[in-house]
């Protein structure tokens, strides 16, 4: 069944069909319900304080992130999207112009990636491939971190600033709202969430101060290195 569903999906996506509503004569019963599940946090909700307080995580993980999964599961139920991986849903919904599916699926994936890249007592850059790439593309670690923070100031409104592998070169990508490197052919390596819900309880309007603290003390650069060398 999954293979058939995927083929049908590809055909419909190629035709640009507005199929997610379940219209266009689709055999709705052939598609499973969509049980996309929010992964558990990789740390205690108190672990990132004081930079990211337990209260922020209770809302950010427990309400915002969880809400994207709830919305996605409602939207994707009984559609071909229900048979895909979360990452496939992001790419296919973007190609098909299914904006509500895309926004919720992308936000689900973006936050999975965000939480996985943080840890208490982070911020220390390991030697090896990541350090070598930073030296090659930014000169030194301080210039790299400064550039990361500067790009978050440059992003107007809600969104994400991504560190990506762009054809073998490290680069930053400013991404508004739910936008993600997955739909731009770039490999995501690290991300900072700069929606106001990520920092407003702890830093209010001081976005740059928040990002500086995340980059200096919470970013799990070992994970970033592993993503680069994977």
53: nearest Cα among 209, 215, 216, 201: 201
117: nearest Cα among 220, 187, 213, 46: 220
**Shortest Å, Cβ 220 to Mn ion:** 17
> Quick one: 31 or 148, whose CB is closer to Mn ion?
148
> Quick one: 78 or 180, whose CB is closer to Mn ion?
180
By CB under 5 A, tell whether 193 contacts Mn ion. Answer: yes
Q: In the numeric block, which tokens belong to residue 58?
A: 């209770």
> Quick one: 113 or 195, whose CB is closer to Mn ion?
195
Rounded CA-CA distance 106/41 in Å is 18
Rounded CA-CA distance 216/209 in Å is 10
Considering only the stretches 17-25, 91-99, 155-163, 195-203, report the one whose residues sit in contact with Mn ion under the rule CB under 5 A: 195-203
Considering only the stretches 23-31, 161-169, 173-181, 185-193, report the one whose residues sit in contact with Mn ion under the rule CB under 5 A: 185-193
By CB under 5 A, tell whether 160 contacts Mn ion. Answer: no
By CB under 5 A, tell whether 195 contacts Mn ion. Answer: yes
Q: Could you count the other beta carbons within 10 Å of the beta carbon of residue 143?
A: 13
Q: Which residues bind Mn ion (CB under 5 A)?
A: 193, 195, 198
């Amino acid at each position: 069944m999954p293979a058939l569903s995927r083929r049908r999906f590809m055909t419909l996506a190629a035709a640009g069909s507005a199929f997610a509503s379940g219209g266009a004569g689709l055999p709705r019963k052939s598609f499973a319900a969509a049980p996309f599940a929010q992964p558990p946090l990789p740390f205690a909700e108190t672990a990132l304080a004081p930079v990211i307080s337990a209260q922020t995580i209770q809302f950010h993980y427990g309400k915002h992130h969880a809400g994207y999964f709830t919305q996605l599961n409602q939207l994707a139920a009984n559609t071909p999207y229900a048979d895909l991986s979360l990452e496939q849903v992001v790419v296919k919904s973007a190609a098909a112009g299914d904006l509500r599916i895309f926004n919720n699926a992308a936000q689900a994936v973006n936050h999975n990636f965000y939480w996985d890249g943080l840890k208490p007592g982070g911020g220390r850059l390991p030697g090896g491939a990541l350090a070598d790439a930073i030296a090659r593309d930014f000169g030194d670690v301080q210039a790299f971190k400064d550039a990361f923070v500067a790009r978050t100031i440059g992003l107007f409104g809600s969104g994400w600033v991504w560190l990506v592998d762009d054809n073998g070169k490290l680069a930053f990508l400013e991404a508004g709202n739910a936008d993600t490197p997955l739909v731009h052919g770039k490999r995501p390596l690290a991300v900072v969430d700069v929606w106001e819900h990520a920092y407003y309880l702890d830093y209010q309007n001081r976005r740059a101060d928040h990002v500086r603290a995340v980059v200096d003390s919470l970013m799990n650069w070992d994970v970033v290195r592993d993503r680069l060398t994977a």
